[in-house]
Amino acid sequence: MAFSILPGLFLPLVMLAVAAFIPLFIKSKKSKTNPLLPVEWPLVGMLPGIVASLRSHVAAAGDNWYDILTSALVASGHTLKVRGPLASSMNFFVTCDPVNIRHMYTSNFANYPKGEGFAEIFDIVEGSFLTADGENWRWHRDIGRQALARPELLAYLACCWRDKVEEGLLPLLSHAAGTGAMINMEDLFGRLVFDLTTTLVFGVDPCCLSAGMPPMPAALPAFDAIMEVAFVRHTMPASVWKALRWLKVGPERKLAEAQRLIHGFVLDMIKKNMVQERGTAAPVDLLSFFTANYSDLCVDHQTGEPSKVLHATLIAYMIAGRDTVGTTLPWLLYNLAKNPHVVAGIRRELAPIAAARARRQQDDDALMVFEAQETKALVYLHAAMFESMRLYPPILYERKSVLADDVLPSGHQVRARDVILISLYAMGRVESVWGKDHREYRPERWLSVDGCSLLHVPSHKFLVFNSGPRMCLGKEMSIAQVKTIVAAVVWNYDIELVEGHVVQPKLSASMQMKNGLMMAVKRRGM
């Protein structure tokens, strides 16, 4: 049986070999129509040039592949066609044009589903709300809306955020400040958000962020691997990565191990959820909600084990919570460290709250922790967060398939089964939307003239929380979580980037940092 697969592997492996070796000999060959695009070669299309530019990103510190793509999009009028190898799945449009995005996400939403290709690439969450389309997606979304809108859940999470910041994050920062140790804030925030997201989904705190910084659980980097390999799958024909998966080599071997670890983690958390002691109040975590209200979703009736749909759904919620807040926090702190005047503005906004709190507490030297309700109305902090997400969006791209032939508002004709990639990174750098200072970090662009309220920016121009019918259900929850955490950090500590440390995006589907975020922390003198 295995030998019958070999003829089907021959062409993909030849294409992979060609794509791997041609970039060694062509490094600067560019398209004649757009010099920022790689040249289109016979048989293999633009794939060699794409691979060459990705190799450059990996090898050279400070060389940002996403900026190269952004420049190519700008030079092409914000939409371009990428052609891959002959008869491959790599012929797609890339766009950052807001009018195209409004068309796909709102005006003609039904014609632009996620598609089967997206579900294959993110196969670990296939069947969940992240990959579903049509009626299946509407069913998942209705369940998600019910689960996330419960007041008791929001109150529970606000307490979790506060306790984790007070008992986990701030003591670790104080220790680093006292010893003068450099600290990787991306790792610290990654642990914090992993704990908080696991608590939301399973009602169990894995205690990754605690005194002594315990060894990182294997599931945490495994989630990073999911996003890294998803990016790799987008850069090669589907037949190639499927061949690598079959052979269990390269990034697919790494992905298989990551998936094994994550499924084991989910099973472990389900067991802990079932046996943990309950208080007088009913549990409000997502798993408990699903098992109480949608038992058919949760159990495979043939085996009696947790169903594949339940696994995919729980992992999807872990990704949705962890990869958004977990990437937003370090990039926001990075931007704040580079812009001390913004930190001063946030502190001025926090000062009245801190003063009122100080009058009620006896210890003048105590660390200040803010409640979610206290930070809700802070517009400058909100603007600082959105401005960071504009420049460094948590998820770097969205993918849409085309059901029926259509013409985009930009004038580009798309055919049924075409694939469209939306670059959120490039969207934040469109001069016609954000102005000539679009590359600058300036929270004021989000504020009214008097600075007292946030300006409305349509979601088709600022896509970090999605747009149209698929708008993120956890948007307000994520905003509140980030504001609560950042308020405590910037009020209690001065933060500085370690000199010489290079901060650069990793090649991933989410905005991970390639080298982490090394910072020096000092206790702030009040």
* 230 closest CA partner among 201, 266, 188, 259: 259
The alpha carbon of 290 is separated from its chain's Cα centroid by a whole number of angstroms, namely 24
Res 22: pLDDT: 45
Residue 20 pLDDT: 46
SS (H, E, C) 345-411: HHHHHHHHHHHHHHHHCCCCCCCCCCCHHHHCCCHHHHHHHHHHHHHCCCECEEEEECCCCEECCCC
Integer Rg of the chain from CA: 24
Alpha carbons 231 and 122: distance in angstroms, whole number = 10
pLDDT score at 70? 87
Statement: residue 434 has pLDDT above 90: yes
Q: For 234-258, what is the mean pLDDT?
A: 90
Q: How confident is the model at residue 4 (pLDDT cuts 50, 70, 90)?
A: very low
Contact 480, 375 (CB under 8 A): yes
Q: How far does Cα 224 stand from its chain's mean position?
A: 10
The per-residue pLDDT for 36 is 53
Residues 250-308: tens digit of each pLDDT: 999 999 999 999 999 999 999 999 887 666 567 899 999 999 999 888 888 888 888 99
55/134: higher pLDDT? 134
- Determine contact, residues 203/283, Cβ cutoff 8 Å: yes
What confidence tier does 34 reach under pLDDT thresholds 50, 70, 90?
Answer: low
The pLDDT of 309-328, averaged and rounded, is 95
Residue pLDDT, tens place only, 436-445: 999 999 999 9
Nearest CA-CA partner of 140 in 399, 470, 468: 470
Stretch 31-57: mean pLDDT: 51
Poorest-pLDDT segment among 42-56, 77-91, 127-141: 42-56
pLDDT over 60 (residue 45): no
Write the pLDDT tens digit of every residue in 497-524.
999 999 999 989 999 998 999 999 999 8
If pLDDT is split at 50, 70 and 90, which confidence band does 413 have? very high
For residue 279, the model assigns a pLDDT of 60
Assigned CATH for 140-523: 1.10.630.10
| Two structure tokens written together for 255 | 């992905």
For 128, phi and psi rounded to 5 degrees? Answer: -95, 180
- Using N-to-C axis directions, what is the helix angle for 379-391 and 475-492, rounded to 10°? 110
Res 25: pLDDT: 43
**Between residues 88 and 506, the one the model is more confident about:** 506
Name the nearest CA neighbour of 261 among 307, 225, 301. Answer: 225
Instruction: Give the whole-angstrom CA distance, residue 511 versus residue 514.
Output: 9
Contacts by 35-41, CB closer than 8 A, 24 or more apart: 35/75, 36/68, 36/71, 36/72, 36/75, 37/72, 37/76, 37/80, 40/83
Can you give the pLDDT at residue 302? 83
